[in-house]
Amino acid sequence: MEALAKLSWQPDGRAESVHAVYCHAVAEARASAAWYDSRRGSKRLWARCLRIGAIVLAASAALLPLLSQVFVRHGKPVIQPVWASVALVLAAALVALDRYFGFSSAWMRFMLSELSLNSLISDFEFAWHAERAGWPNGVPDDEQLQRALAGIRESSLQPRLSSARRPAPG
């Protein structure tokens, strides 16, 4: 941000200055997208482990009564059917843990935020290059400079994505 304070807005330096502002905005947006990408991994791991555990336990709960009928020794089941209830309760507990700690929903939110930010970055870059194409000799006049700066401010990615805002530290 300190580098932006030293920009020159005189006609001979305005192209470089507005480009520096553009690069700063894109770098901030990419840093936000990278932040979401770097932090979704642990949420994905926990979400998958809890859901796979719940699926395995629920499938076991469905199979245990059948297996208790198949595996019989001296007229008594080797596997007691009550274990199906235990497996079902454990499966429900894993789903409840996932819901309580929000691993699956956080993973999806982080993915959606990252995808939204990347989409906004692409749209912003395209709009920027389209705007720059209209600058004679690559230098904006006063009106073009104001429009370019307003476009950068408007396309500032944090305020436009309330769902993709980086959480406050802590």
pLDDT, mean of residues 74-93 = 92
Q: Are 88 and 57 in contact (CB under 8 A)?
A: yes
Name the one residue in this structure whose structure tokens are 């959606």. 112
Question: In the structure, what pLDDT confidence band is assigned to residue 72 with cuts at 50, 70 and 90?
Answer: confident
Query: In the numeric block, which tokens belong to residue 59?
Result: 């499938």
pLDDT, mean of residues 22-43 = 89
pLDDT at 159: 46
Average pLDDT, the chain: 85
Q: For 48-61, write each residue's pLDDT tens digit.
A: 999 999 999 999 99
Highest mean pLDDT of the ranges 32-41, 91-100, 136-145: 91-100
Q: Which of 88, 95, 42 is nearest to 62 (CA)?
A: 88
Under the phi-then-psi rule, with left for phi > 0, alpha for psi from -120 to 50, and beta for the rest, what region is 137? left
